[in-house]
Amino acid sequence: MERLVEAALKARENAHAPFSGFKVGAALEDTEGRIHTGCNVENATLGLTVCAERVAAFGAISQGVREFKRIAVAADSAALTPPCGACRQILWELCGDLEVILANLQGRSERLRMKDLFPRPFDATFVR
C-alpha cells in the first residue's frame, strides 16, 4: 500500500490545476503489480477537465491492461478525498470492485472498496 500511495503523491506533483489549485494524484495497480499514474488536468472551460483517477485508468487501458487490483488517490486536504461521481463510474466499469486507498499530505489514509463508494452502479449488465 505504501508504494502505491507514494506513487499517487508523486503523480499529484504533476497536476495542472491553475483554476482550482486543487491538485490530485492517482496510482492504479494492475494485477501484475505494475503501477499506472495520473494527475488532474484542468482546462479553462472546466468541463473538459480530467480527474487523476480517469487519467490513470485511461493510460492503463491504452497500454492494454484490463485487470486491476487497487487505486490510491492523494490530495492536499484534511478530509480524505474520494473519487468524484464520473470517476466512480469509470473505475467501476473499467476496473470493477477495486480497493480504494484515500490519502492526504498529512499522512492520513483510509481503505474502502468501490462497492462501498458506488453501491448501485449502472454498468454493462443493464445494456446487454
Beta carbons within 8 Å of 21's beta carbon, 6+ residues apart: none
Identify the active-site residue in 6, 13, 53, 110. Answer: 53
2 is catalytic: no
The radius of gyration of the chain from alpha carbons, rounded to an integer in Å, stands at: 14
Segment 19-50, tens digit of pLDDT: 999 999 999 999 999 999 999 999 999 999 99
Segment 42-83, tens digit of pLDDT: 999 999 999 999 999 999 999 999 999 999 999 999 999 999
Domain boundaries, the chain: 2-126
d(CA 75, CA 16): 13
Alpha carbon separation from 93 to 13, 68, 76, 80 (Å, rounded): 27, 11, 27, 23
Instruction: Please name the fold of domain 2-126.
Output: Cytidine Deaminase; domain 2 (3.40.140)
Segment 105-123, tens digit of pLDDT: 999 999 999 999 999 999 9
Of 44, 47, 52, give the one whose Cα is nearest residue 90: 52
Q: Is the pTM here over 0.85, yes or no?
A: yes
